[in-house]
Amino acid sequence: MIHWPKDNARKETWKALETLYEQKLCRSIGVSNYYQKHLEELFVSAHVCPAVNQFELSPFCYMPDELAFNQRNNIQVEGYAPLVRGWKKDDVTLNEIAERYGKSTFQLLVRWNIELGAVTIPKSVKKARIQENMEVFDFSIAPDDMQKLSLLYDNTRVAWDPRDFF
C-alpha cells in the first residue's frame, strides 16, 4: 500500500506498484489515507484499481461520503485506529450504548466498523484485550444506535487528516 498520499509522489508511486502487480510480484496493491479527491486523481491514469484503502475510521472521524465512494468503486475499506487509542473510553454515549449490549466500549467500536462493511485492525499488545476485541461476532448494533454513534463525529484523529494532502 501507499502509506500516505504525498502530493509530489503519489502518481509515480502508484505506477511503480502497478508494475510490481503486472509482473505478479504483488498479489494485490492498495492505498492508505486516500480520500475521494486522491482516488479520482489516481483513476485518471491508473490501469489497476486499488484493492484496499486503509484510512482512519471511528465514529469520531466518520465521513460517510468517503466510505460510500470506496464501496461504489469496489475498494475494500480497512479502518485503522478503530479504538481511537482509548481516548474516548469515557464518552457518555459510547458507554450508554455499550452497556445496553453487555459489551465494552472497545468491542462496540470494533463492531461499528464491521457494521459499516469495513475490515478493521484494532491493535493491542495484551492477549486478554486481543481476545476481548475479537468477541464482536455475537451481537449487532441496531440501526438507531449506529445513527447515534455516527453523530459523535468531532474530527478526532490519531493520525494526520488526509485533507491536508489535497
Binding residues for ligand NAP, rule: CB under 6 A, are 3, 32-33, 54, 80-86, 106, 121-126, 129, 132-133, 158-159
DSSP annotation of 155: -
For ligand NAP, give the closer residue by CB, 28 or 47. 28
Nearer to ligand NAP, 22 or 96 (CB): 96
- Minimum distance, C-beta of residue 51 to ligand NAP, in the bound complex (Å): 15
Q: Encode burial over 116-155: b for 16+ CB neighbours within 10 A, e otherwise.
A: bebebebeeeeeebeebbeebeeeebeeebbebbeebeee
Question: From the CB of 133, what's the least distance to ligand NAP, in Å?
Answer: 5
Minimum CB separation from ligand NAP for residue 76, in Å? 14
Q: Cα(31)–Cα(20) distance, rounded to whole angstroms?
A: 14
Pick 59 or 122: Cβ nearer ligand NAP? 122
Q: Residue 123 in contact with residue 95, Cβ under 8 Å? A: no
Q: Which residue lies nearer to ligand NAP by CB, 92 or 128?
A: 128
Supply the minimum distance, in Å, between the C-beta of residue 24 and ligand NAP. 25
Specify the residue, 24 or 61, whose C-beta has the smaller distance to ligand NAP: 61
CB of 154 vs ligand NAP, minimal distance in Å:
16
